[in-house]
A and B are shown apart, each in its own frame.
Chain A
Amino acid sequence: MSHPLFKVIPKEEYFLPGTPACPGCPAALGLRLLLKALGPKTVIVIPACCSSIIQGAYPRSAIKVPLINIAFAASAATASGIAEALELKGIGDANVVVWAGDGGTADIGLQGLSGAAERGHNIIYVCYDNEAYMNTGIQRSGATPYMAWTTTTPTGKREIKKDIPLIVAMHRVPYVATAALAYPQDYVMKLRKAAAKKGFKYIHLLAPCPPGWRFDSSKTIEISRLAVETGTWVLYEIEDGKFRLTGPSKGLIDKSKRKPVAEYLRTQGRFSHLSDEDMAKIQKIVDENWEWIKRWLEG
């Protein structure tokens, strides 16, 4: 990468250690990096999700910026109210950030997200996507991928993952991006880019979850990297309507450069029941997604 970690990511910590996050938790790391990227003039809105617990229980808190917890479906609307009131009071330079899981984004929170995006409030909405309801015990969400095991899809989910970043992009917001924890510089630069723009910004962070995806807690970053290298997770940004691949995804348009998707799937217990046909079908879903990307890039 062109930006060494120490140059891009400040030393200051706004996320204190000693939280009840699981070992290898991607939400804890993602929120820690987010706070480093955005700094102390940031208010975080958190709906029901793993981060409701990770932040610590009353009267303690691991978060050193103003943090508002709110009901499951309500984060985007609550942030709308905060952003409008702060602007009215002359504090328009603060970052109003939603930090929500995939259930609170793709399912119960989608109406509120769509409303806030369409209205264009000055908000950064970040979805950390661990691809199921992990906080309640690994139940399937709209963001759970095809054939993944969850406690409510015991033989694998039959439907494909809902594509939230593109749904948000169709609201013609100024900035939409995806991110992965294996590429923290890319994630932090995208957060900073979002903060520098006015209006509704959306970042979708893939968050490999050791207990939920059934892998060893030492492998979070490795699996995040494999998600990108296999092309299963694509790093991109859509800035003022212009689609652009970022980071290692830039070099993966040619299928021969991508590792087989099976290398990613085999690392995770949630896919351990997959047949060769299932694997082939998932490979096909990934390849078709890249065909779309090729068409967009060709304009």
Chain B
Amino acid sequence: MRLVLTGNYAAAYAAKAAKVEVVSAYPITPQTQVVEKLSEFIERGEMNARYIRVESEHSAMAACIGAAMAGARVFTATSAHGLIYMSEMLWWAAGARLPIVMGVITRAMAPPWSIWSDHCDLLSLRDIGWIIYFCENAQEVFDTIIQAYKVAENEEVLLPAMVGWDAFQTSHTAEPVDVLSPDEVSKYLPPRRPLPYVIDFERPFTHGSLCYPDRYMEFRYLMDLSMSKAKKAIVEADEEYGDLFGRKYGGVLEKYLCEDAEIAVVTMGVLSGDARYAVDILRKEGYKVGLVRLRVVRPFPSSELKKELKSKKLVCVIDRNISIGRGGILGTEIKALLKNSSANVVNVVAGIGGRDVSYEDIVNIVKRSLDLVEKGEVPEYMWYSIDKEYVVKAVGEYYEPPAL
């Protein structure tokens, strides 16, 4: 069935198609339509599910944990401050190995208040044991949420999954979306199997008790092991989805015109569409450019990225996030991957707090990056589109991260 849906409505339809049994959520802009639509589905009886209208995001994730512990398939969604407020419980969900799926509509953190997209909220939680997907458009949001259940519930994996998409540009932009029915999806995603770590009165167990240093480390090791297995599960889940429903996304990476490319642009999320268009323009001008779009941040696609990027002349990583004092988070990870290769990595921080990054900007970023590489002046990272006049007026100087 083809419907015109925003990214947020596509997410609600996906949760419905996945036969989610418990939704627990707290409202925050720009997540609200996800949970409004789910309330409608549940109250109209279109979903056999309970909606727990909690009093905070901390409780939203706690209720998801409780419901998942009792064997239910659960869903929630949040953004920015809500995500950070629930972060303690995100650790608990991952450590408890519960296959919870959560939509994260990325939004900049305050102060100052902002409701527009950047990826600092989601990427600040990359180290806690959640699988992290990131989508480019509403169709991918729909498809990825369903795939995420398949991966999270895989018994080799048993880790929760966040599915990210950008505030407004994806969350509130209506697009045609192919929506699968719960019956169609049940061919792909069977009901959640109750074992292990599910409350059972016949087989009682204690979960999460005190663990001494002689054992705790193995629990963390086992999470890391499962996360490494998640990569194969993600690729297989994408392949199987493609075989059944005709859409797939390249597993962990999507590549565009990469085969003969000397320059690779690396992006994530909604600005990848502009980046693809920029690649077309640059190609017409004679640049051998390709695009690598990260679809999964955890598990990090290290070997796939290294294989793709190591022999490029220029790898231009556009980060819609900033690790203050270090640079872009993806750029930092990719630089570490490519440290022994001939590839020059230029890390550009752009689009923070919802600032628009157009295809012209990306053309400009690639040309400037190429120029820096040719001059041998590659900086540790660079900020794109900073209003220097404003900065100088405010603090008397403009700071440029130093060349490496």
Contacts and interface: CB of A to CB of B under 8 A. Distances in A.
Interface of A: 40-41, 43, 45, 52-53, 55-59, 61, 63-71, 73-89, 91, 94, 111-112, 114-115, 118-119, 121
B59 interface: yes
A71 B207 contact: no
Contacts of A68: 66, 69, 199, 207-208
Contact of B64 (A71, A81, A94): A81
Q: Is the interface of B mostly helix, strand, loop or mixed?
A: mixed
Contacts of B74: 81, 85
Contacts of A55: 206, 209
Interface in B4-26: 21-22, 24
Interface of B: 21-22, 24, 48-50, 52-56, 58-60, 62-72, 74, 88-89, 92, 199-201, 204-212, 215
A111 B55 contact: yes
Nearest to B50: A84
A85 B22 CA distance: 7
Contacts, number: 166
A40 B202 CA distance: 9
Contact of B58 (A53, A59, A74, A80): A74
5 contacts: A52-B209, A67-B209, A77-B60, A80-B66, A82-B66
Nearest to B63: A81
A70 B62 contact: yes
Contacts of A67: 204-207, 209
B200 to A, nearest CB: 7
Contacts of A66: 199-201, 204-207
A53 B199 contact: no
A293 B101 CA distance: 49
Given A70-B92, A80-B54, A88-B50, A115 B201 contact: no
B15 to A, nearest CB: 15
B229 to A, nearest CB: 24
A119 B54 CA distance: 8
A65 B48 CA distance: 29
A43 B199 contact: yes
Contacts of B210: 52-53, 56-58
A119 B50 CA distance: 13
Given A80-B63, A81-B68, A73 B58 contact: yes
B62 A74 contact: yes
Contacts of A75: 62
Contacts of B24: 77, 80-81
Contacts of B206: 55-56, 58, 61, 63, 66-67, 69
Q: Among A40, A65, A88, which residue has the most Cβ atoms of chain B within 10 A?
A: A88
A85 B212 contact: no
B70 A85 contact: yes
Given A78-B69, A80-B63, A81-B52, 12 more contacts: A45-B66, A57-B209, A74-B88, A74-B92, A81-B22, A81-B68, A82-B70, A88-B72, A112-B59, A112-B62, A115-B55, A119-B52
Contact of B66 (A53, A65, A77, A91): A77
Nearest to A58: B211
A57 B211 contact: yes
Contacts of B56: 111-112, 115
A88 B49 contact: yes
Contact of B201 (A65, A76, A87, A119): A65
A108 to B, nearest CB: 10
Contact of B65 (A78, A89, A112): A78
A52 B208 CA distance: 9
Nearest to B202: A40
Nearest to B58: A73
Nearest to B55: A115
